[in-house]
Amino acid sequence: MRTLNSINQNVEDAYVKREALLKMPILVLPEQKLANQYVGYFERTGESKSLFEKAKRYFPDGIQHHNTYVSPYPIFIKGGCVSKVFDVEGNTYLDFTMGAGAQLFGYASEHYEQVWQTLATDRFSLFHHPEELELAEKVNAFMPLVESIKFFQSGTEAVKAAIRLARAYQKRDLVVKISGSYHGWMSPTIRDIRQPGVGDLYMSGVPKAEANLCLTVPANDLSALQKTIRKRSRKIAAVIVELPGPESGRIPIYPDFVHEIQRLCRKHKILFILDEVVTGFRLAKGGAQAVYDLQPDLTILGKVLGGGTSLSAVGGPRDFIQYFSRNVTQTIRGRAVFVGGTMAANRVSTMMGLATLQAIEENDPYNTLDQKAQKMVDRLNSLFDSAGFPFFAYHFGSIVQIELVAWPSKFSWSRIFDFQKRLSSVHQYQLFLQSQGILSLSGTRFFLSTAHTDEDLNHLINAYRKLLELIPTK
């Protein structure tokens, strides 16, 4: 497991390199050269294009998931095996989206064989099955602070439930988050997502009074954090944080900063919620809280928890989680929080989650994942250096960030054209990689699984080498 010093260094390096990249003009790939590159790609993926045209009739923008869309059309995927996915025409792609981080063992992993077999003969039962209990026991064994657990289906839903619990318990309404962080689409944490400074851009449909219940603090800004907490300490129910920083570490935060958040929370009797939707069972068996040595009051889990199926959870000390209770006395005291769901702890997802955690226990994949990510980052950085570009890659465990276009620390409307240019460059790079058979999340985020091989890494490096050759140097 990484030490806090090495994480600190990692964060420091990322910010230094980002500053250097920001000083460079945004590099746009020449359309003419690209057009030649894309001829074969567009020919091979015609079926996806037709499906996308049809999808536009049924889905807004023709898509169901924002982050995986690649212009001019997304690839329609039919299946996956190990580190690869196959589109409807049988083309193979090396996949680094890994279900937005949910697949720790790649696709069609042998670890799930037993689950498929059981489901084929045993069909589904929905309520009160042993697997939900076994999964809770396993989570507790991995994360001792998760003594008690309430299952949900999506990360969004679990965040919403945790915040409601914090508010009910605290009898306070305000929530603090780090600018730019995404904790799901439900209010109030939808404020200031993705790019710090966008404020209420994505808050249509959220009443102003509700929007104002979310306070934001810039990443690593200790004085803003102290000021915000001191000023309203008696009204703040909870602070919610994602490690290694907003957007899976695209905006990295220093370990000291998150420890200061925890310290201030304790001091002012504010609940400290750790959003481990991405990091839970991905960064380490014990999640980011084990790596960073934190003791959150509430932990939010998702993604890997369900082995790539829809499962999420809020966990914590029994004393807190018990307030998700149907107990009438508690309800009358105004503390019990009503949550539930037909599909919560559904058997398919809990079986998948259990198989995932068992595979983690048997294989302890984290050192290997960390080494793979380090190798990927080292090879990419030496490629960028030798080609003379200030691009850079860095990683936190199996989460790799590759930056060819840096983002200013704060969005502003006066620099909207600069932002748009950066965004279209990211899209250009993402499409180029896709044409080379590589899928990433938003063009910058790469999730590794135990299924990724050295050969896959060579494929990635070659694709970036070709990309660099296309970039005009003057």
Instruction: Report the residue number whose CB is nearest to ligand PMP.
Output: 155
Nearest distance from C-beta of residue 260 to ligand PMP, angstroms = 20
Nearest distance from C-beta of residue 9 to ligand PMP, angstroms = 23
Nearer to ligand PMP by Cβ, of 245 and 365: the residue is 245
Cα(216)–Cα(213) distance, integer angstroms: 10
Grouping H, G, I as helix, E, B as strand and the rest as coil, residue 79 is: strand
CB 243 within 8 A of CB 258: yes
Nearer to ligand PMP by Cβ, of 182 and 324: the residue is 182
Nearer to ligand PMP by Cβ, of 161 and 168: the residue is 161
Nearer to ligand PMP by Cβ, of 155 and 353: the residue is 155
Torsion of CA 409, 413, 418, 419, to 10 degrees: 60
Q: What six digits make up the tokens of 30? A: 């020449």
Cα(316)–Cα(113) distance, integer angstroms: 31
Q: At a CB cut-off of 8 Å and minimum separation 6, what does 169 contact?
A: 237, 271, 320, 323, 335
Cα(69)–Cα(253) distance, integer angstroms: 27
CA-to-CA dists, residue 19 to 12, 22, 338, 392, 403, angstroms: 11, 5, 47, 11, 12
Nearest distance from C-beta of residue 431 to ligand PMP, angstroms = 22
Nearest distance from C-beta of residue 206 to ligand PMP, angstroms = 16
Nearest distance from C-beta of residue 175 to ligand PMP, angstroms = 14
Nearer to ligand PMP by Cβ, of 66 and 269: the residue is 66
Grouping H, G, I as helix, E, B as strand and the rest as coil, residue 56 is: helix
Nearest distance from C-beta of residue 65 to ligand PMP, angstroms = 9
HEC states along 343-400? CCCCHHHHHHHHHHHHHHHHHCCHHHHHHHHHHHHHHHHHHHHHCCCCCEEEEECCEE
Nearer to ligand PMP by Cβ, of 271 and 383: the residue is 271
Nearest distance from C-beta of residue 242 to ligand PMP, angstroms = 4
Nearer to ligand PMP by Cβ, of 307 and 437: the residue is 307
Nearer to ligand PMP by Cβ, of 196 and 437: the residue is 196
Residue ranges binding ligand PMP (CB under 6 A): 100, 154-156, 159, 182-184, 242, 275, 277-278, 302
Query: What are residue 269's phi and psi, to 5 degrees?
Result: 55, 45
CB 361 within 8 A of CB 367: no
Cα(266)–Cα(263) distance, integer angstroms: 5
Nearest distance from C-beta of residue 275 to ligand PMP, angstroms = 5
